[in-house]
C-alpha cells in the first residue's frame, strides 16, 4: 500500500515565547509572527543548569505522537494523527507536510539525515526522502499497528515494534525482513537501537523490556519491571545503560552488559511513556501520563528539575537536540514545545 502524499508550503505557525525565568510566575505566552527566530540557548542543558530550563517556543497542531531531530539539528520531524510534519527549528516554520492514510505513531531520521522512517496504524514501516517527500519504500509483515521504529547507527537496518507482539529487524538495501524477534506475549510499545548497533531493546505491555542480539536475532536478557506495562526504552549515548519507563510510574536504569537493574527513579505520578538521554549522557528526560517532564541526573539517580502544568495532556515524546541545547516535547494536547536554559540578561 502507498499513502497519499500532500505537501504544503510554508505553513503559518503559532510560536510563543515564555519571557520569564524559572522561579517567577510564568506570563501568558504571546503569539509572534511566523518565521520569528527561535532564541536558541547558548548553553546545553546539564545537571548544573537544569533548574533554569524554561519553555522557549510552542507550536499548536492536532494530536501529535512523536518528535525526532535531524542529525544536524536543523529539522524536527513530528508524527501525528494526519501525517508527518517537518519543521525548520530556527523558526519553527513547517516546511513540509506529508499527509498519510493512517495515523503515524513514530518517526526517525537516518544517520545521514537524508531519509525518514515512519511507523503507523496501517501496519507498515515506511521510508521517505527528506528532500522531496517521496515515499521510497514500504515494508510489510507486521499484522497490527506498528508503534515504534528506529534506524541502526550505520543506517543500513531498521527495527520496529508492533501490537502484533513482535519486534522486527529489516535490511534496507535488500528491502526485506531479516528477523522476527518473538518472545513478548503482549503488545510492543517502543524499540531502540544501541549506539554500537549490536543490540536492540523493546518495551512491552507484558511487563518486560528485552534486549536482543542483532547479528543472531536471539534474546539476550529479559528485564523484569514491576507488574505493569513497560512503555518506553532508551539507550545512553555510550551504550552502557538502558532506561525503561513503565505504567508503575518509575524509570529504571539497567546495565546493558549484564541486564541488572542499577537504579530506580521515582517522581512521576502516572505512567512514563517517553524517554531520552542528553547527548553527553548526564541527564535523562522522561515524559508521562501525568502531563509532566522530569529531568534526572543519571550519576546521582536524582530528579534535578520538572516541567509541569504546561502540557495539559499526556507527554507522548521527549527528545534532546543533537547539541543538547534544546529539549523538544509533544503531547496529546496538540502542542509541540521547545525547552532550553534561560538566557542570562
pLDDT confidence of residue 17: 33
- Copy the grid coordinates of residue 271: 505512567
**Tens of pLDDT, residues 333-345:** 988 999 999 876 5
pLDDT confidence of residue 40: 87
Please enumerate, as own/partner, the contacts of 303-311 that have beta carbons within 8 Å and a separation of 24 or more: 303/265, 303/267, 304/47, 304/50, 304/51, 305/22, 305/50, 305/51, 305/53, 306/267, 307/53, 307/55, 307/339, 310/26, 310/55, 310/337, 311/335, 311/337
Cα separation, 197 vs 191, in Å, equals 13
The phi and psi torsions of 290 (rounded to 5 degrees) equal -85, 10
Rg (CA), the chain: 19
pLDDT more than 90, % of the chain: 75
Single pTM value for the model: 0.89
DSSP state, residue 103: -
**Tens of pLDDT, residues 54-108:** 888 888 877 899 999 999 999 999 999 999 999 999 888 888 999 999 999 999 9
Cα separation, 160 vs 319, in Å, equals 18
Cα separation, 268 vs 248, in Å, equals 9
Res. 38: pLDDT tops 80: yes
Report the candidate in 218, 106, 215, 110 with the shortest Cα–Cα distance to residue 154.
Answer: 110
For residue 74, with 0-12 CB atoms within 10 Å meaning exposed, 13-18 middle and 19 or more buried, which class applies?
middle
Instruction: Kindly list the structural domains of the chain, giving each domain's residue range(s) and its CATH number in brackets, ordered by start.
Output: 15-341 (2.130.10.10)
pLDDT confidence of residue 213: 97
Q: String of b and e for 114-129 (b: at least 16 CB within 10 Å)?
A: ebbbbbbbbbbbbbbe
Mean pLDDT score across all residues of the chain: 88
pLDDT confidence of residue 35: 61
Res. 131: pLDDT tops 50: yes
- Copy the grid coordinates of residue 213: 542480539
Residue pair 274/245 in contact (Cβ under 8 Å)? The answer is yes
**Tens of pLDDT, residues 3-30:** 333 333 323 333 333 323 333 334 433 3
Q: How many CB atoms lie within 10 A of CB 59?
A: 22
**Tens of pLDDT, residues 152-174:** 999 999 999 999 999 999 999 99
C-alpha to C-alpha distances, 201 to 16, 212, 251, 273, nearest whole angstrom: 36, 6, 15, 15
pLDDT confidence of residue 124: 98
**Tens of pLDDT, residues 215-266:** 999 999 999 877 689 999 999 999 999 999 998 899 999 999 999 999 999 9
- Within the chain, residue ranges assigned H as helices are none
SS3 26: coil
Amino acid at each position: 500500500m502507498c499513502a497519499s502524499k500532500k505537501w504544503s508550503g510554508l505553513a503559518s505557525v503559532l510560536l510563543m515565547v515564555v519571557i520569564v525565568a524559572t522561579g517567577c510566575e510564568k506570563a501568558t505566552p504571546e503569539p509572534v509572527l511566523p518565521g520569528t527566530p527561535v532564541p536558541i540557548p547558548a548553553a546545553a542543558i546539564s545537571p548544573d543548569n537544569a533548574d533554569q530550563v524554561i519553555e522557549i517556543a510552542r507550536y499548536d497542531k492536532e494530536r501529535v505522537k512523536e518528535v525526532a531531530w535531524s542529525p544536524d539539528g536543523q529539522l524536527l520531524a513530528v508524527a501525528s494523527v494526519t501525517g508527518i510534519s517537518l519543521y525548520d527549528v530556527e523558526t519553527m516554520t513547517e516546511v513540509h507536510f506529508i499527509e498519510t492514510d493512517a495515523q503515524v505513531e513514530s518517526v526517525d531520521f537516518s544517520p545521514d539525515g537524508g531519509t525518514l522512517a515512519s511507523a503507523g496504524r496501517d501496519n507498515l514501516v515506511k521510508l521517505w526522502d527528506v528532500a522531496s517527500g517521496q515515499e521510497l519504500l514500504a515494508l510489510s509483515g507486521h499484522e497490527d499497528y506498528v508503534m515504534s521504529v528506529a534506524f541502526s547507527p550505520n543506517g543500513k537496518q531498521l527495527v520496529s515494534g508492533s501490537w502484533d507482539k513482535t519486534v522486527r529487524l529489516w535490511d534496507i538495501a535488500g528491502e526485506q525482513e531479516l528477523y522476527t524477534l518473538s518472545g513478548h506475549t503482549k503488545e510492543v510499545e517502543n524499540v531502540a537501537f544501541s549506539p554500537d548497533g549490536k543490540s536492540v531493546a523493546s518495551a512491552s505491555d507484558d511487563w518486560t523490556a528485552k534486549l536482543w542480539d542483532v547479528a543472531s536475532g536471539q534474546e539476550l536478557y529479559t528485564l523484569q519491571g514491576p507488574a505493569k506495562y513497560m512503555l518506553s526504552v532508551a539507550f545512553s549515548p555510550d551504550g552502557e545503560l538502558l532506561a525503561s519507563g513503565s505504567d508503575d510510574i518509575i524509570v529504571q536504569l539497567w546495565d546493558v552488559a549484564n541486564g541488572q537493574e542499577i537504579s530506580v527513579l521515582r517522581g512521576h505520578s502516572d505512567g512514563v511513556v517517553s524517554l531520552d538521554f542528553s547527548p553527553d549522557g548526564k541527564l535523562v528526560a522522561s515524559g508521562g501520563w501525568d502531563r509532566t517532564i522530569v529531568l534526572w541526573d543519571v550519576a546521582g539517580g536524582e530528579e534535578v528539575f520538572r516541567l509541569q502544568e504546561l502540557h495539559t495532556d499526556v507527554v507522548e515524546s521527549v527528545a534532546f537536540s543533537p547539541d543538547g541545547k534544546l529539549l523538544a516535547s509533544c503531547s496529546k494536547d496538540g502542542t509541540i514545545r521547545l525547552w532550553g536554559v534561560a538566557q542570562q540578561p
